[in-house]
Amino acid sequence: MEHITIEEYFKPHRTNLLIDVRSPGEYNQGHIPGAVNLPLFTDEERKQVGTIYKQVSPEKALLKGLDIVGPKMSLFVKEIKKYSPDQVTVQCWRGGKRSQSVTWLLNFAGISANYLSGGYKSFRNYILNNVLTDDIKLIVLGGKTGIGKTEFLQKLKDRGEQIIDLEALANHKGSAFGHLGEPTQPSNEQYENILAQEIIQLDKEKRIWVENESRMIGSNPVPASLWVKMKKAPLLNIEVDPEIRYQNILRDYGQFTKEELTLCFKKIEKKLGSQNMKDAIDAININDLKSAINIATKYYDKTYEYNLTINTSPNKHFLLLPGDNLGIKTSSIIDYANRFIRFD
Residues known to be catalytic: 92
Burial class (CB within 10 angstroms; exposed 0-12, middle 13-18, buried 19+) of 95: buried
Q: Are residues 225 and 138 in contact, defined by beta-carbon separation less than 8 angstroms?
A: no
Q: Kind of pairing, strands 216-217 and 207-211?
A: unpaired
What is the end-to-end Cα distance of the chain in Å, rounded?
Answer: 47
Return the CA Rg of the chain: 25
d(CA 8, CA 20): 17
Query: SS3 of 96, please?
Result: coil
Question: Quick check: 150 and 211 in contact, CB under 8 A?
Answer: yes
The DSSP bridge partners found for residue 239 are: 320
Closest CA to 89 of 18, 20, 22, 33: 18
| Three-class secondary structure of residue 187 per DSSP | coil
> What is the C-alpha to C-alpha distance for residues 197 and 30, in angstroms, rounded to an integer?
13
The letter for the amino acid at 68 is I
CA distance 199 to 192: 11
Length of the chain: 344
